[in-house]
Amino acid sequence: MSGIALSRLAQERKAWRKDHPFGFVAVPTKNPDGTMNLMNWECAIPGKKGTPWEGGLFKLRMLFKDDYPSSPPKCKFEPPLFHPNVYPSGTVCLSILEEDKDWRPAITIKQLWCIRFPCAVNTTWSPHSINWT
């Protein structure tokens, strides 16, 4: 595991614990020996008010590669969420989570959660999330 990735994720965890939006959850998983696995986070996002998802709490896993923050985390709803910005596999379909598109190493977990994910739970359709067959 990369020291840069682990250092950055430890900083982000500390910042998240100090200040995060009500109802949002982001917690690193535990390894079999009980230590924290900063490369794998269990998360939950509340459904946005005024949408069909209002009142729900949707579980999501964030997996970080060794080259984080150069590459974005993989974000996947478990179980898959029926939503226009989510592939049938549960993987979130946002350009900000694509390394060759809008991802930037300066983007933090909190920014993803507070800005991008709530925007994802709306009625904007992605052509990638539609089964065209």
Residues involved in catalysis: 93
Residue 1 to residue 4: CA distance in whole angstroms: 9
Residue pair 72/61 in contact (Cβ under 8 Å)? The answer is no
Instruction: Report CA-CA distances (Å) from 126 to 67, 94, 97, 121, 122.
Output: 27, 9, 14, 12, 11
Residue 74 to residue 118: CA distance in whole angstroms: 17
Sheet holding 74-77, edge to edge: 25-30, 36-46, 57-63, 74-77
